[in-house]
Structure 1
Amino acid sequence: MANLFMTFDPSTKIMNLSLNWLSTLLAIAIIPTYFWMIPSRQMMLVNSMFKTLHKEFKTLMGLNYYNGSTYIFVMIFMFIFINNFLGLYPYIFTATSHMAMNLSLALPLWISFMIFGWFNHTQHMFTHLVPQGTPFALMSFMVLIETISNIIRPGTLAVRLMANMIAGHLLITLLSNLYSSSGSFLIPMISSIMFLLLTLEASVTLIQAYVFSILSVLYSNEVI
């Protein structure tokens, strides 16, 4: 390992085929539990999470809500959350710490929003380029700023998720390297810090999935 960031590089291979990205398919393992006659506590928790997110996304969309549209963003939330959480387990590749994975989620969403908005609500899209109350002398400047801010939206979604995943994993890696070089009297303190850091990372996995999905809802709400 030449540097610390190489811990995020795909390395598990069989016949030169990388197997790291197969970790994104581990969520499929929970699908058969939906067909049980008596739902488990885990499925009841997932269903209640689905209902809560559906109500919140529906409230954010308001009059722009279409039947079933919120479940697109609920599935995005669950996909990111499961991948983030699985990355906390040892020897499981964290797919959301890579820009390729995050852009593959953010870019198609943004492109579909733009195509739908410009083809169906062209005048509405133009009005978003000039905020209400902008002085006449600053209108051309504001159009440029709003255009740039609109273009970089998928990049900011992807970078935000990637940076938060990398930051937490780097801290865990650095602290775990202290075990071999520290004395026995420091091990309990390092272990308690590691426990607190893992608890924080578990909450970050949920928060970042929520932020990604809620911003996607807000971006879609602007083009309708």
Structure 2
Amino acid sequence: MASMRRLALFDLDHTLLPIDSDNEWGRFLCRTGRVPDEAAFNAAIDAFYAQYRKGQLDPVEHLRFALGAFAHRPMAEIEGWRQEYIDQVIRPVISQSALDLVAKHRDAGDLCAIVTATNAFVTRPIAGLFGVAHLLGAEGEIRDGQYTGEPEGVITYRAGKLIRIDAWLKDMGLSRNSFDEIWAYSDSHNDLPMLELATHPVATNPDTILRQTAGARGWPVIELFPLVG
């Protein structure tokens, strides 16, 4: 009898992490003097996050803002910033409950991916901390070894996550139909398209709208940790 084939898709911020890694990266850059106007930058972070929570975010505008913070810098320099951020901000907040959730799927042989609207430069090493080899994040254009500040490709936000998931699977000679079960975990109503593609959607530390949707549809709800911010 053939073994069951399963796909596990995880959002990152407020799902596997109790923080928003995008926002906290920006605030880290402010604290460490790496943006020219700290007050204006923090205000922009707050404004974009309010739009996100309402489902009104312009993903292109937001990604340009996020990428602009380190565009035209030598890659070695910004990779050093990122390592400081990972060590100071991300490692201390990773919970055993989140690690255990991912490990349960990974150890079962499931194909696992983190699918996040946060840019891939920031989140790729975070996926590594969870032992997840596949990261689908928002990509920035690179020219002459530096980020230009412009987005590249389909942004992993709302329905864009589905496009990127399908393209990733196709690159491996797979499709959604290749799997007997698809598990999807997210905290946000913005991820309803990804949750709806799953045979096993799980509302994880859900926001108010997703909690109500999960209740109406009979989806399981899990709380991995108290959220921060």
Normalising by structure 1, report the TM-score. 0.27
Could you say which structure has the higher strand fraction?
2
Greater helix share, structure number? 1
